[in-house]
Amino acid sequence: MTLDINPAPPEVMHIDLNSAFAMTEQQANPLLRGKPVGITNRLNNFAICITASYEAKARGVSIGTRVGAARQLAPGFVILEADPAKYMYVHSKLRQIFTSYSPVSYMKSVDEGIIDFKGMAPILKGRPLEDVAAEIKQRVRDEVGDYMSVNIGIGQNRWLAKVGASLFKPDGLFTIDKDNLLLVYAMLGLTDLPYINYRYERRLHEAGIYTPLELYNTSERVLSKQVFKSINGHHWYLKLRGYETEVAFGMRTVGRSYVLEHRTDDPKEFATLLYKSCMKVARRLARFGLEARGLMLDLRFTHDPSQPHSRWFLRHMYKSGASRGDELYARALELYARCPRRVIKYLGITTYGLRPALQLTQPSLFNDEEAKRWRLEKAINEVNDQFGELALAPASVVSSRNPMKDKIPFGSIRYFD
């Protein structure tokens, strides 16, 4: 049985900021406007650009280009270190604007959001969504900054709205409906579709699918059994026809990842970084009132031709939950003890198996040591809340060569205020 294109009107709007971080820097510093600008998490020649301005992109600089190479590609290239506070502020302003249009609106990441207008017809009173989109563009210029522009796509589901927003960058606006959907597919390549990367493309090629139209015409059975070999095939079949498949899940993991400024194979130095990361994760768990049973340690090593793998990870589900920094650290050390001794360049800690934290509500008769640790953790958190992150930290952490400053996360916004 085949399913036709969703006949519903396009009522989902996807809005994303053009080259978000670079444009925010160009907004802040008027002298950077019209110039090739890149943003990096670390200011050195080996660092990579996490965003490039349109002027830099026009000269071949893209996400992932090394700063040294970007300087050669784009004369006059200006590289800046990411400024998370600035991007979070722009994010909060965008969120304010979006939520003023519909109760079903949310940010998908730092720089993109969704407004769902389903059921809003009595309020819109026949006003076309393209008119609303033009108003949003103007409000972004008025309320965030006169140099800021957004791409807006409108579609029957969130995925098609995202496709629409990607079509005419920068400052684009496009609506995809049941009448032009196949025309849109005809003018795109597979990797132009959101969530289809080169690896996915290869998988599609192996199944004889070379264009979005061919993907659209592939049966649900083939997509599920042969191409994606999972429920994803069913989801792709639906989303290509304009049916909603994206469901928001609650928080399932809390973690921290970090690329080391100073790579190390020194267990003492690494233990310091591990402790710092565990403290950060503990702060995040406390903020959401959670504890975690599971812990995963994920490490990446510098290239070594004699070794088959450059990544090592280990996870363990414990019987009891942990939420304090010292508890997480003890567990992380247990996992780290089984790691091969190599030069580490990346450290990731993820807690999972989350559940509401058990707080000690009354002093224990038998476990006074535990109560003391809770009081200490609480006191440290209070000092850090007042004076800033890691204002109070163990001496070993302070003396570390790796500062572990907060960096702007790719995509994720769950730890934002």
Partner 1 sequence: MLEKVNEPVEVLASFARHNQQVRITPHLLKWRGKHYQLEVFGLYHPERRGDKRIHIFSFSSGSTSFRTELDPETLVWTLVEVFYDA
Tell me: does residue 24 bind partner 1 (CB under 8 A): yes
If one asks whether residue 403 binds partner 1 (CB under 8 A), the answer comes out as no
Report the DSSP beta bridge partners of residue 115.
13, 105
Q: Does 30 bind partner 1 (CB under 8 A)?
A: yes
Cis, bond preceding 308 (omega within 30 deg of 0): no
Residue 3 CB-half CA count within 13 A: 18
Residue pair 38/61 in contact by the 8 Å Cβ criterion: yes
Closest to partner 1 by CB, 147 vs 352, is: 147
Which of residues 64, 89, 221, 360 is near partner 1 by CB under 8 A?
89
Least distance to partner 1, CB of residue 199, Å? 37
30 vs 170 by CB, closer to partner 1: 30
If DSSP codes are grouped into helix, strand and coil, which group holds residue 96? helix
Q: Pick from 17, 20, 19, 5: which is nearest to 155 by CA? A: 5
Q: Is residue 23 part of the contact set for partner 1 (CB under 8 A)? A: no
Q: Which stretch binds partner 1 (CB under 8 A): 28-36, 182-190, 210-218, 244-252?
A: 28-36
Q: How far is the CB of 85 from partner 1 (least distance, A)?
A: 4
Query: Does residue number 85 form part of the binding site for partner 1 (CB under 8 A)?
Result: yes
The two tokens of residue 383 are 């000092």
Binding part of the chain for partner 1, among 22-30, 47-55, 133-141, 303-311 by CB under 8 A, reads: 22-30
Q: Which two structure tokens, joined as six digits, stand for 118?
A: 């389903």
Q: Which of 145, 194, 353, 394 binds partner 1 (CB under 8 A)?
A: 145
Residue 27 touches partner 1, criterion: CB under 8 A: yes
- Applying CB under 8 A, among 5, 8, 9, 28 the residue interacting with partner 1 is 28
For residues 282 and 381, give the distance between their C-alpha atoms in angstroms, rounded to a whole number: 10
Strand pairing class (311-322; 254-264): unpaired
Across-strand partners of 63? Answer: none
- Residue 5 C-beta: closest distance to partner 1, Å: 43
Angstrom distance (rounded) from CA 218 to CA 171: 33
Q: 67 or 299, CB closer to partner 1?
A: 67
Does residue 29 belong to the site contacting partner 1 (CB under 8 A)?
A: yes
Residues 37, 54: Cα–Cα separation, whole Å: 8
Q: According to the binding rule CB under 8 A, does residue 398 interact with partner 1?
A: no
Compare residues 143 and 206 and give the one whose CB is closer to partner 1: 143
Nearer to partner 1, 220 or 389 (CB): 389
Contacts of 363 (CB under 8 A, 6+ apart): 371
For partner 1, give the closer residue by CB, 339 or 393. Answer: 393
Residue ranges of alpha helices (H) inside 267-313 are 267-287
Q: Which is nearer to partner 1, 37 or 204 (CB)?
A: 37
The number of beta carbons lying within 10 Å of the beta carbon of residue 319 is 5
- The stretch near partner 1 (CB under 8 A) out of 114-122, 240-248, 325-333, 383-391 is 383-391
Q: Which stretch binds partner 1 (CB under 8 A): 112-120, 171-179, 299-307, 381-389?
A: 381-389
Structure-token pair, residue 156? 């029957």
User: Segment 102-131, which members bind partner 1 (CB under 8 A)?
Assistant: none
Which residues lie below 8 Å from residue 18, measured CB to CB, with a gap of 6+? 54, 149, 150, 151, 169, 170, 171
Q: Does residue 387 belong to the site contacting partner 1 (CB under 8 A)? A: yes
Using alpha carbons, select from 103, 105, 90, 92 the residue that is nearest to residue 13: 105
For the chain, the C-alpha Rg in angstroms (whole number) is: 24
Place of tokens 């200011």: 43
Q: Give the binding range for partner 1 (CB under 8 A) out of 21-29, 184-192, 308-316, 333-341.
A: 21-29
Q: Does 386 help bind partner 1 (rule: CB under 8 A)?
A: yes
Which stretches of 74-225 are DSSP H helices? Answer: 84-99, 121-124, 129-143, 158-165, 181-186, 198-206, 212-217, 220-222
Instruction: Give φ, ψ of 259 to 5 degrees.
Output: -95, 125
Name which of 293, 282, 286 is nearest 252 in CA terms. Answer: 293
Please state the closest distance from residue 394 (CB atom) to partner 1, in A. Answer: 19
Indicate whether 385 belongs to the interface with partner 1 (CB under 8 A). Answer: yes
Q: How far is the CB of 96 from partner 1 (least distance, A)?
A: 11
- Cβ atoms of 344 and 263 within 8 Å: the answer is yes
Q: Give the range of 78-86, 94-102, 268-276, 354-362 binding partner 1 by CB under 8 A.
A: 78-86
**Which residue type sits at 369?**
E
**76 binding partner 1? (CB under 8 A):** yes
75 binds partner 1 (CB under 8 A): no
Binding footprint of partner 1 on the chain (CB under 8 A): 24, 27-32, 76, 80, 85-86, 89-90, 145, 384-388, 391, 417
